[in-house]
Structure 1
């Protein structure tokens, strides 16, 4: 009986669930890296690489200019229609990240400012992004971008 209790205690002590994942400083850096890569892609006129920051899913939500778009393809088509005729017409994009707030271990809300110069679509404003840890890395799953008046 004593052997059975010892064996049970050892078995229960060794049986643990999967390790608990936490939002780490490396996650914050990875999210910042996504936006840095997007900014660099935009500034070299590479719309396809810019869109790599978004999750390729029909569940993506993109809100700007009073419109709500659903899905990666719809967001990409919108950008292509507006900028694809001439990559130089995309101008120069700058982001300023004001905060990255974790939502659990696999999500975060990013708040920041954007400014687009050197194009007829120049402007500035604010954005709120919901990012999610996915198998391919951190990706934007919800983008709400507003222009300043």
Structure 2
């Protein structure tokens, strides 16, 4: 009887681990899809579409070389001011170095961005915090250099 109980427990634990790994893999793919959508929108000079990857909230935090910007509207305005034309937005590429789970509904992403553009290329690093909000992965904090 003990062997059957032990076998049952091992099967249950293995099954739960497999489900958790599948969930993590799906979450990472979904987060990568958000980043891909942002990359495409940016490269089409569509900053509003790019911003769909961010949490549309006054609590969104963007931390860049000019300090902290609080809120979705202010972050959009910051992007429009810093990248006023297609020559400034250019073509965006990301290199994702790590996607790490920090809670059931949150991950951080470490990476690099590379923008090829007519007014001079721009490169830097970023750390994004993604949170699942109303069934969608959104960036709730962005630190970009």
Q: How far apart, in 2, do the equivalents of 1:128 and 1:119 lie?
A: 26
Structure 2: runs of 5 or more not aligned? 1-18
Q: TM-score, normalised by structure 2?
A: 0.80
Match in the other structure for 1:12: none
* 1:123 Cα deviation from its structure 2 partner: 1.6
Q: TM-score, normalised by structure 1?
A: 0.78
Taking a change above 3 Å as real, the CA distance of residues 121 and 81 of structure 1, as seen in their structure-2 partners, is farther
Contact 2:57 2:72 in 1 (8 A): yes
Match in the other structure for 2:117: 118
2:74 maps to 1:43: no
Match in the other structure for 1:132: 131
Q: How far apart, in 2, do the equivalents of 1:121 and 1:129 lie?
A: 25
Structure 1 runs of 4+ aligned residues shifted over 6 Å read none
Q: Is the partner of 1:45 in helix, strand or coil?
A: coil
Q: Is the partner of 1:59 in helix, strand or coil?
A: coil
* 1:82 Cα deviation from its structure 2 partner: 2.4
Per-residue CA distance 1:40-90 (angstroms, 9 max, x = gap): 000011111000000000110001113110000000011112223x33431
Q: How far apart, in 1, do the equivalents of 2:104 and 2:37 lie?
A: 22
Per-residue CA distance 1:87-127 (angstroms, 9 max, x = gap): 34311111011111001110001000111111426221110
2:25 maps to 1:25: yes
Contact 2:94 2:113 in 1 (8 A): yes
Structure 1: runs of 5 or more not aligned? 1-20
Contact 1:90 1:119 in 2 (8 A): no
Q: Describe how 1:48-127 pairs up with structure 2 within 5 A.
A: 48-84=48-84, 86-120=85-119, 122-127=121-126
The count of corresponding residues between Structure 1 and Structure 2 is 125
* 1:31 Cα deviation from its structure 2 partner: 0.3
